[in-house]
Amino acid sequence: MKFVKSGAPVLAAMSGIIAPKDLKVDSPSSIRNVAATVAHDAMAYYKGNLTTDPNSVDIGDVPEPYYWWVGGALWGAMLDYYHYTKDPSYNDVVLQALLHPTNLAPTFDYVPKEHAKEEGNDDLFFWGSAVMSAAERNFPQPNANAPAWLDIASNVFNSLVSRWDTGNCNGGLRWQIYADNPNGMTYKNSISNGGLFQLAARLARATGNQTYLDWAQRAWDWSAEVGIIDPTSYHIYDGVDIKTSCKQVNKAAFTYTSGVYIYGAAVMANYTGKKEWVDRTSKLIDGAGWFFQSDGNAKNVMYEAACETNDKCNYDMITFKGYLSRFLWQTSVMLPSLRNKIEDYMLPSVKAAASVCTGGKTGHECGMKWFTGSFDNKAGLGPQMCALEAIQGLLIHEAEAPLRGNEIKHVRDAKWTPINTYKPDTAKTSKRDAPVTIRTSRRGVSSPTKRSDAAGRLLRSGETLSLALFGLAMTATAWIMA
């Protein structure tokens, strides 16, 4: 592997850079400009492109103390970045990560043996969500030895449903995959089951296949039956345990699980046209309202309520706000009628997120706590991803809506057109709504793959990241296998 420069200096035109704190939320050129800076500082934490070993497990993975699943989430964020800004600077590294065998696995389902010690059903969703986004946008897949993105997403779905556990609590996915894993094998959590719900809903919309729709309904119904979807408040709780017959709900709550269920419900509403799904989506958004500060200068500013105010966030939790941001913005496309409600939350949050991007080694890295109004000395990959998803989502209504049916193609040509994100009025894109109740062509669902290999999952240490960051005074690069 070698370090390859792209054809265009993405971080050129230095005089045109806008400090994130000066973001204008009503200016597409300002948003692209700031998103480019935040994306650059996020990608500076990724080192997998620097290895000289073509079989390295570092390719596509993120540095400790983050887990492998955050890599899948990062590539989902960078797919969003390209889709919203049209800046292709990082596309080659995204392709390399998503298609690398130590991530994709020989079974093309993101259940690789190389990451068995840190992979659960929830982790699988984040990689599956990324390739589902690639399929919905006709992002090129140039590797002739790997399936199309949509087929890979289907493989992830099949892997998940093969572990649906009817023998305990009448269904549901366990948190973990491997039987010898002592950490969570009896726990059925909302992120695993919500991930299945959302992925199934998106596959149903993309393909028109009833099997996916049935599984989305099944995952929702089970979540409601055991109480991880609160029937009154529509809060999403963390999970239930087989040891108590799933009768005692762990009422810990996090932003990302609400986001996953919200977007799944929005896709169901868009695809089926049923009012009950519109109502559920709206109630879920209301239920997520407790993740937004309710008073003072920080009113309607998103925060991780479980840990930010008491400084107890771990390295998973500091990434969570990004996924609620991602899926709220995407919900505003699936259900335009809810756009104003979503923007009432997201616009103050975006402004707050940008306002804390004033620190770190570059002087414009983002802090974790948006509600403080200033950098909190907690720079890192997680805070960068959160700010990026919030800020770049402002451009979502200038981008194409998720494709479906025969619109989805297996594009092989991975040629990119460089743009200067620091030049005003570049990368204009077409606007298209996502019409409701449009049925699509039928597509088969393959049989689930059975896996017998098992491995323990090891907890990583909480050591602090200390990675050298790139400065802005450089020519941007793309990374490819050579």
Q: What is the pLDDT of residues 409-420, one digit of tens each?
A: 999 999 999 999
Of 300 and 15, more confident? 300
106: enclosing H helix or E strand: none
Give the tens place of pLDDT for each residue, 430-443. Answer: 444 555 443 333 33
Give the span between the Cα atoms of 459 and 435, in whole angstroms.
Answer: 44
Angle at 185 between CA 183 and CA 189, to 5 degrees: 95
- What pLDDT does 327 receive? 99
Model's pTM, two decimal places? 0.87
Assess whether pLDDT exceeds 60 at residue 139. Answer: yes
- Residues forming a β-bridge with 2: 480
- Give the CATH class of 2-461+468-480: mainly alpha
Residues whose CB falls within 8 Å of the CB of residue 296, separated by 6 or more in sequence, listed in order:
none
Mean pLDDT of 320-327: 99
- What pLDDT does 345 receive? 98
Assess whether pLDDT exceeds 90 at residue 70. Answer: yes
Q: Determine which of 255-259, 321-325, 334-338, 439-443 has the lowest per-residue pLDDT on average.
A: 439-443
Assess whether pLDDT exceeds 70 at residue 424. Answer: yes
Sketch the domain layout of the chain as residue ranges.
2-461+468-480
Question: What are the distances in angstroms from CA 101 to CA 23, 57, 142, 347, 398?
Answer: 39, 9, 15, 39, 34
- What pLDDT does 306 receive? 98
Assess whether pLDDT exceeds 90 at residue 22. Answer: yes
377's tokens:
């000395």
pLDDT band at 75 (very low <50, low <70, confident <90, very high): very high
Assess whether pLDDT exceeds 80 at residue 455. Answer: no
* Strand pairing category for 477-480 and 2-5: antiparallel
Give the span between the Cα atoms of 339 and 352, in whole angstroms.
Answer: 19
pLDDT band at 175 (very low <50, low <70, confident <90, very high): very high
- What pLDDT does 422 receive? 87
331's tokens:
């919900």
Full DSSP string of 439-468: -------PPPPP-------PPPP-PPP--P
- What pLDDT does 426 receive? 53
Mean pLDDT of 192-196: 99
Percent of the chain with pLDDT over 90: 80
